[in-house]
Structure 1
Amino acid sequence: MAELLRAEENMKIGQSKIKELWTFCGVNVIAYYSSSIFSNSGFSDQSALAASLGFGVINFLFAIPAMYTIDTFGRRNLLLITFPLMALFLLFTGFSFWIPPTTDARVSCIALGIYLFGVVYSPGEGPVPFTYSAEAYPLYMRTLGMSLATATTWFFNALLSITWPSLQRAFKPQGAFGWYAAWNIIGWILVLLFMPETKGKTLEELDQVFSVPTSVHAAYGLRQIPYFLKKYIFRQDIQPEQLYETEEQTPHDLGETKIV
């Protein structure tokens, strides 16, 4: 760690910290929904408050598995799996508003969609951004970087809270939920192309990870799509491509594996 700090001290000489921050930054958008959504779906005021409490309980309970999966399954994998599901459940919730309000199915489907959204949000997009932000910045500017990452997250939380009522009036619930579903798909694409995995890596390995050019990561992400189809859809016995050399591996161990 001491050697790493000395190396980074030499690296930052003559460089702009602001420029360095933007080199490592990503965008995380987290949406919160209030009891007004349940009220608009046909719940009574008391039932809407109870439903909102249920959503909070789900968020808490399903965030617990993340304490295990975030270091075993990986930060990137969690986002790649949960982003499409979040988009799907947001679309399901929005489309449920087309069900006639006189039927119980409307209320049930809207509540189900929001609860399922909470189930997949809690172990993925909920905890991952804060964990990832703490690892993405080099040590000499980690405090400044985390301050910026946290401020960015809460800025967009405030922006979403302020704009949701007008967005819902302009787009109707179907369009408003569809709007955020589309952003979840965009988030999935950005994670696939530009977000390297940091699970289980040492400080030295993290330096290696974030020194790889963005274009290399993007190409690697695109190659993972056919790998996934061959491995999990067509059940072919193929090994994943390794983009980095870990401390436990040597060039001889990696064989044909690509080392960047």
Structure 2
Amino acid sequence: MHRTFASLTILLALAACDGKAPAPEPTAAATIGASPAVPAPPPASPRPSAAVKVNEKNDLYEFSYAYPAQAAAIPALKARLDADMAQQKADIAQEAREGKKDAKENDYPFNPYFHSTEWKVVTDLPGWLSLSTLVGFYTGGAHPNYAFDALVWDKAANKRVEPLALFTSKAALAQAITRPFCAALAKERLKKRGEVWQGDGISDFEQCIDPLAQVVILGSAGRQGFDRIGFLIAPYNAGPYAEGSYEVTLPVTPAVLAAVKPQYRAAFAGS
């Protein structure tokens, strides 16, 4: 018995010298009363971007500018549109101040000016966002007027690309689309003027117009790639103001696809 006690004493002394005594087992009270570990909450999902819409009205002018959530979600595009909005607002304010001053100096009534831009999605593809807008404006005169604009955003390159820049040349694209464009425009004119309308074929509003002098937009019906090419035609370009604007849409045919630059063909359906 004395030997056992001596051996135990030696072992305890060695453990104390080593400094590595085993940790005590937790008691039942400690384990029962402990709270289980709470897992960290998952990271919050980014909030979807909201569409932007600004309206302002005063004695000088009425101004509105809007663009969709898909554009607001791209920081570089949002910055570009915000800068354009600020510039358009500054321009209409300056023009209205000058117009009111001129009206007072020449003793005629001043009618408030206005500017309206509303960008809308033509198509949203994985690598591309295509937008178009109708820009309405009044800066004095008999009636307001409006025009079109379009924008194609290359998401991979994070930059704006002019629609016509996707093609090898204007001449190549014109060769592919002029004949079907003119036929489609003639049909649209008949819809506005009536099936019994007969012209002399000489007036500027009866002849075909240059499709590539219009605003060109790229769209997609199948959502797999650009498969439509559209032309937005402002008043006076294809007919009198009373007829309003025209719009022609053509499919992307093999002839059109052949005019696309090689580096952009993957963006088009059927490539």
TM-score after normalising by structure 1: 0.29
Higher RCO (C-alpha under 8 Å, 6+ residues apart): 1
Structure showing the higher strand proportion among its residues: 2
Structure showing the higher helix proportion among its residues: 1
